[in-house]
Amino acid sequence: MTFIADEAAFDAPAFGIIGSPLFNAPPSLGKMAAGGEWERAEVFQPGRFISEEEVKKYLGKKEEIACEAFFCDAFFGARKRGTPEKLVRFVLDFNRALALSANGRDFFRRVAERPGIPVGSGFLFAEVGAVDAWKSVGPFRIEDPCAALEHFEELLGDLERSSTGREREHLKAVEFAFGGGCEHWIALPVSEGPVIVPFMLEDALRKWCESSEREHLSVNSQNKKA
């Protein structure tokens, strides 16, 4: 299912995350990075259109690029692989969506149209990680968010003992990762400063699971009518 942030898509599993009040805010920052090296990301400010020359200079001969858009401490990211020409177009379209958007919901609508990211389609897994140091610190994988929620205390203990849980320099977030024809992720904050706050993580997982359950019930109802 392709998610576009309007009333017609309220039954999509990802809506519990996209529907967070944090995404009602205007965009606060945009980034692009290659190879998951967010510590060396190129930053673009909201409302600013980057030029094709800037993107080409940053990309060089790279065959992969990722972009992220921040809304306070919540964020959305997507990755593209391909020829330099395709990567340039992807970054320019992502930047354009960010520059023109009034808030997160507006942004999701725009990136679904161009560069054509099927927001919320093809869920893969969730991860808790260190913002701007996801790869270097090492994320904590959650294969099944709903099963994890049912055993939250056990999950929390494992997380607190992990490299992500022990790290004390970066903010933490939980990302919900998707395939759906274009690798992308939606993230909510789960820490105050660098310290993970259990109820923030639990709330994010619950939002996902409640939306997933609504989607499941909707599909079952449609099947019965058919």
pLDDT tens profile 59-85 = 998 999 999 999 999 999 999 999 999
Tokens found for residue 109: 């609508």
Q: Is the pLDDT of residue 8 over 70?
A: no
Look at residues 156, 135, 121 and name the one whose alpha carbon lies nearest to residue 2: 121
Round to whole Å and give the CA distance between 188 and 183: 17
pLDDT band at 14 (very low <50, low <70, confident <90, very high): confident
Give the domain extent around 39.
Answer: 1-226
The amino acid present at 77, given as its one-letter code, is: G
The mean pLDDT of 186-214, rounded to a whole number, is 94
pLDDT band at 3 (very low <50, low <70, confident <90, very high): very low
